[in-house]
Structure 1
Amino acid sequence: MNTLHSIQEADTDSLEQMLSMLLDGAVETLDISPDLYDTAVRRYKEVGTWLGLHASPDYEIYSQGSFLLGTVVRPQTPTGEYDIDLVCRIPLHKTSTTQDELKQRVGSQLLEYRRWKQSQGHSDGPSSLESRRRCWTLGYTGFHLDVLPAIPDDEHQPTGILLTDKNLYKWQHGNPIGYADWFSSRSELSHALLAKRASIADVPVWHIRSTLQRLVQVLKWHCMTYFGDDTDNRPPSILLTTLAGRAYRGEDDLFTALRNVLAAIPGFVERRNGQWWVANPAHKEENFTDKWNEYSERRQAFMTWFRELTETMDNLSLMHSEGLDAVYSHLVKSFDPGPLQHSFTRYANRMKNTATQQRMSATGLLSTTTAGPRRRPQTFHGQHTDARD
């Protein structure tokens, strides 16, 4: 990286603003693009419509997890395909079916859907259909849809559901709609988010990212980078999302919010009767750290990662006298350099343009009125899955 002396001298952003924009710009490149988002929505709505016409009008398909929450991060896999989790809810009582029967029932209907698309000569149908532990996976270009068969949870109405799991005897509880409502209420603490939505009504709400959504994306991105292929010990995204949501206090600045959340997270991990516990805000009986009690190494892995990220953020907070190059160099020691390189380049160009405007204004070639005040670039146009992925 070439040192940008003149740019740094002209820059008036605070360290917190600089770090916030570098992190925000990086995770924006990992977010799902509006076009791919819209394509995915069309695909799963078509699946739901087909099931309603050919299976039963009572079938209901809706998104859950990161796609519903707006915290999707592109996986660091060879294909880089996004995982989009869906619920296929069928209004049956659990005494009228079994987990296996429900799984096969939904799978048969999805197989028929795929055959129908092929028979009609449609090129936009799923390229594959696979059975997995808890779901059926429909493959598309750039993403795949994980469809989780579910029935209503009569003990947790109106949005609770029961899910299948071939490795577990009991039905698994969930409440993705209730969880999304809770997460949305936590996101709304940000005054900046409300101001954005009020000023750009023509932009769909899912293209506007709150500070909390970006914060969760940063945590997930760093976690994926840190753990690499060690998926067994990598903390599930629902745990990171829940801890971040509980600890967030409405800060608008991303870097400040991240540091404050990291400082508060330990206080939201409980010990209940000798068990580690982080409750699902939408289903208090569900524990997102249940695996910690079975595999102590998973908690240790979480703590090691957590300390590493906290130390990185603490060290960055001390770099007030450093320029953009030094801050960037420190960030890439802990984060994936690819997205950061893109963000660095865009931010450096913005700084360069600002310095040019200031020099032209100083020589009378450009008045301050013409140049106007420098504004922080908007990020709501955003590049913008089992909930327990």
Structure 2
Amino acid sequence: MIVTEKKATQIDDVLDRMAEDVQLDKTRHERMISSYEAVREWIEADEKFFKPYKYDVYPHGSVRILTTVKPIGRDEFDLDIAVHLKYGTPHTPERIYNELRRRLNEHGLYKDMLEAKNRCIRLKYAGDYHMDILPGVQEIEYDKNCIMVPDRELGSWVSSNPRGYADWFIAKANLVRESLLEKALRAENLPADDYSKKKPLQRGVQLIKRYRDIYFQKNDSYRTSSVILTTIAGQFYQGEESIFDTVDNIVTTIQSRIGQSYGRLKIINPVNPDEDFTDKWDSEPEYYEAFKRFSIHLYNEWQRLKEDNGIIEESHIMKGLFGDELFSRAQTNQATWMERYRKSNELGMDRNNGLLTSAGLSGSSVVKSNTFFGG
């Protein structure tokens, strides 16, 4: 745990380490970026269709907003890419989609990885990740983010705004300038590079998504989608400084809204008020019932964590929410971190309450380093 006398900061340290563990690792991230750059260059070099037009190719989704979570049971992430043609491109949605498909099929490697989806084309990097490429045309001249994307089932355009959504979420995450963990590190003169710079909202979304994967592991027929959970979190976030308080506020607000609603809870796209991310809950109400059970369970377990149950019971709750191995690795990481600072005589103990703190703080004494003989 982070060396501080406050229990809230100690809990945030555990949550931060678990969220760090489930996200896209550096090696995988670099490999995905390399694949993205290769696809972008291949599309831009197309002489038959794409080259004459002005367009952007950019990532969106969880990779862009830094909320990636490794799926349980399979070693595969997803990378969402948009091919965003600028305003005035005079083509039908079918033409845009088919030209993208044609261009990818011309590549010796991509043609065997390609899978046609309803609105995008997927490239499957076996056992590693897949890339969903969404073609679209800028919808309004004065709005650079709104795009129309082809929907093959509908046979027409559908309004979308993946870049605007990412900007909205990042702005919400940045409501807090400095997190509880960052403040504790600064106050205790400890190096900030021991923690990532992710905001509590980003960490909260990662943990809620991880809990979702645990909860629906045995039966994922009516699993709540990531975009719904991410949007709920962003809409209900109030600028909390701690990860724990962020999740607590989100799950508490969900329960309040469900209790107040005469119908189902609606989650509207914050950058497209005409799009209801939860419209499927009308045609298939089983999704909404599953969401309610899932959110109630998380709420109840989070309330238990707020009680003074002791370390053993708190560990049991954390393992139930996020998995035994993930929690155990977080404990191992924090123990290694503390031992490093103890050996350098930077770890202290508050003489008033016995909790670990920085050796330089008033009222603390240095925690001596262990040796083989205990000296």
Query: One fold, TM greater than 0.5?
Result: yes
SS of 2:145's partner is coil
Task: Indicate the residue corresponding to 1:108 in structure 2.
Answer: 102
Normalising by structure 1, what TM-score?
0.76
Q: Does 1:339 align with 2:326?
A: yes
Task: Indicate the residue corresponding to 2:227 in structure 1.
Answer: 238
CA offset digits 1:82-140 (Å, max 9, x no partner)? 101111223476873143x332211111122x32xx5xxxxxx7972222233212233
SS of 1:152's partner is strand
Which aligned pairs between 1:322-337 and structure 2 lie closer than 5 A? 322-323=310-311, 325-337=312-324
**Contact 2:3–2:347, Cα closer than 8 Å, also in 1:** no
More helix by share: 1
AA aligned to 1:75 is P
Task: Indicate the residue corresponding to 1:174 in structure 2.
Answer: 160
AA aligned to 2:227 is I
Q: Does 1:76 align with 2:72?
A: yes
Task: Give distance in 2, aligned partners of 1:48 and 1:353.
Answer: 44
Task: Give distance in 2, aligned partners of 1:331 and 1:246.
Answer: 25
Residue 277 of structure 1 deviates from its aligned partner by 2.2
Alignment gaps of 5+ in structure 2: 187-191, 351-355, 365-375
SS of 1:88's partner is strand
Task: Indicate the residue corresponding to 1:15 in structure 2.
Answer: 7
Q: Name the CA shift for 1:193/1:175 in 2 (closer, same or farther; >3 Å).
A: farther
Which aligned pairs between 1:62-101 and structure 2 lie closer than 5 A? 62-78=58-74, 80-91=75-86, 96-99=91-94, 101=95
Residue 316 of structure 1 deviates from its aligned partner by 0.8
What is the aligned counterpart of 1:159 among 131, 145, 152? 145
Q: Name the CA shift for 1:169/1:77 in 2 (closer, same or farther; >3 Å).
A: farther
Please say which of residues 136-145 and 61-70 is displaced more in the overlay.
136-145
Task: Indicate the residue corresponding to 2:369 in structure 1.
Answer: none
AA aligned to 2:14 is L
AA aligned to 1:33 is D
Q: Name the CA shift for 1:103/1:130 in 2 (closer, same or farther; >3 Å).
A: same
CA offset digits 1:246-269 (Å, max 9, x no partner)? 111111111122112211235667
Task: Give distance in 2, aligned partners of 1:32 and 1:352.
Answer: 27
Task: Indicate the residue corresponding to 1:383 in structure 2.
Answer: none
Aligned residues: 342
Task: Indicate the residue corresponding to 2:302 in structure 1.
Answer: 313
Task: Give distance in 2, aligned partners of 1:359 and 1:87.
Answer: 48
Please say which of residues 35-44 and 150-159 is displaced more in the overlay.
150-159
Q: Name the CA shift for 1:208/1:168 in 2 (closer, same or farther; >3 Å).
A: farther
Task: Indicate the residue corresponding to 2:367 in structure 1.
Answer: none
AA aligned to 2:83 is C
Q: Name the CA shift for 1:273/1:162 in 2 (closer, same or farther; >3 Å).
A: farther
Alignment gaps of 5+ in structure 1: 1-7, 119-124, 363-367, 375-389
Which aligned pairs between 1:194-213 and structure 2 lie closer than 5 A? 208-213=197-202
Which aligned pairs between 1:205-284 and structure 2 lie closer than 5 A? 208-228=197-217, 230-266=219-255, 276-284=265-273
Normalising by structure 2, what TM-score?
0.79
Task: Give distance in 2, aligned partners of 1:262 and 1:25.
Answer: 21
Q: Percent of aligned positions with the same letter in both sequences? A: 25
**Contact 1:178–1:282, Cα closer than 8 Å, also in 2:** yes
Task: Give distance in 2, aligned partners of 1:13 and 1:360.
Answer: 11
What is the aligned counterpart of 1:139 among 124, 132, 138? 124
Q: Name the CA shift for 1:193/1:53 in 2 (closer, same or farther; >3 Å).
A: farther
Q: Name the CA shift for 1:218/1:195 in 2 (closer, same or farther; >3 Å).
A: closer
Q: With CA pairs under 8 Å and 6+ residues apart, which has the higher RCO, 1 or 2?
A: 1
Q: Name the CA shift for 1:130/1:270 in 2 (closer, same or farther; >3 Å).
A: farther
Please say which of residues 184-193 and 278-287 is displaced more in the overlay.
184-193
Task: Give distance in 1, aligned partners of 2:284 and 2:142.
Answer: 29
Q: Say what the alpha-carbon RMSD is for the aligned residues.
A: 3.7
Please say which of residues 350-359 and 130-139 is displaced more in the overlay.
350-359
CA offset digits 1:156-193 (Å, max 9, x no partner)? 83311122333334432210111111111111111215
**Contact 1:71–1:216, Cα closer than 8 Å, also in 2:** yes
AA aligned to 1:14 is K
Residue 210 of structure 1 deviates from its aligned partner by 0.9
Task: Indicate the residue corresponding to 1:285 in structure 2.
Answer: 274
Q: Name the CA shift for 1:155/1:239 in 2 (closer, same or farther; >3 Å).
A: farther
Task: Give distance in 2, aligned partners of 1:172 and 1:290.
Answer: 15
Task: Give distance in 2, aligned partners of 1:274 and 1:333.
Answer: 31
Task: Give distance in 2, aligned partners of 1:13 and 1:60.
Answer: 49
**Contact 1:183–1:245, Cα closer than 8 Å, also in 2:** yes
